[in-house]
Structure 1
Amino acid sequence: MPEAEEPMQYEFRVRGPVPENAAETLPELDSVMLADKTVFYGTVIDEAQLFGLLARFRMPGLLVTQMRPLPY
């Protein structure tokens, strides 16, 4: 039986400011605007959630330019 995955903190960088209605489609993530990008961050519990988040970024047309796990 495979081991359960440990939740991890992730950061997603999106080019430009993100409209509030687009950010609301990702309620489990916090966000902050930095210069020419918006940074989303939060806990991702498993690979299925990670891929689901990436798909939800694409739905309103947001381009993830960088994604990385963060140390706890």
Structure 2
Amino acid sequence: MQRYEIRIDGQLSTTLTAAFPELDHVVMSGQTVLFGPVVDEAQLYGLLIRCRSLGLRVVEMCQVPE
């Protein structure tokens, strides 16, 4: 299991952050940062697909040290 950060352009509404119950979030500098553990590549791709289907613009995604 690895930890990831996904930076989204803009501040997400409560409804949109609820679409990612497995991740925590924080708003910083006009971006929403979703972060938390990701079990495997399939889950990671699933998160990115969910972002795309919700019309969210992913600015950056990176693995972070634990």
Residue 12 of structure 2 corresponds to residue 14 of structure 1:
no
The match for 2:47 among 31, 53, 56 is: 53
Residue 33 of structure 2 corresponds to residue 32 of structure 1:
no
For 1:25 and 1:16, how far apart are their aligned partners in 2? 16
- Secondary structure of the 2:46 match is helix
- Counterpart of 1:3 in structure 2 is none
TM-score normalized by the length of structure 2:
0.95
TM-score normalized by the length of structure 1:
0.87
- Counterpart of 1:70 in structure 2 is 64
Offset at residue 63 of structure 1 (A) = 0.9
Q: Which aligned segments of 4 or more residues in structure 1 are displaced greater than 4 angstroms?
A: none
Flag structure 1 segments of 5+ consecutive residues without an equivalent. Answer: 1-6
Residue 42 of structure 2 corresponds to residue 42 of structure 1:
no
Residue identity over aligned pairs, in percent, reads 42
User: CA RMSD for the aligned pairs?
Assistant: 0.7
Structure label with greater radius of gyration: 1
Count of aligned pairs between the two proteins: 66
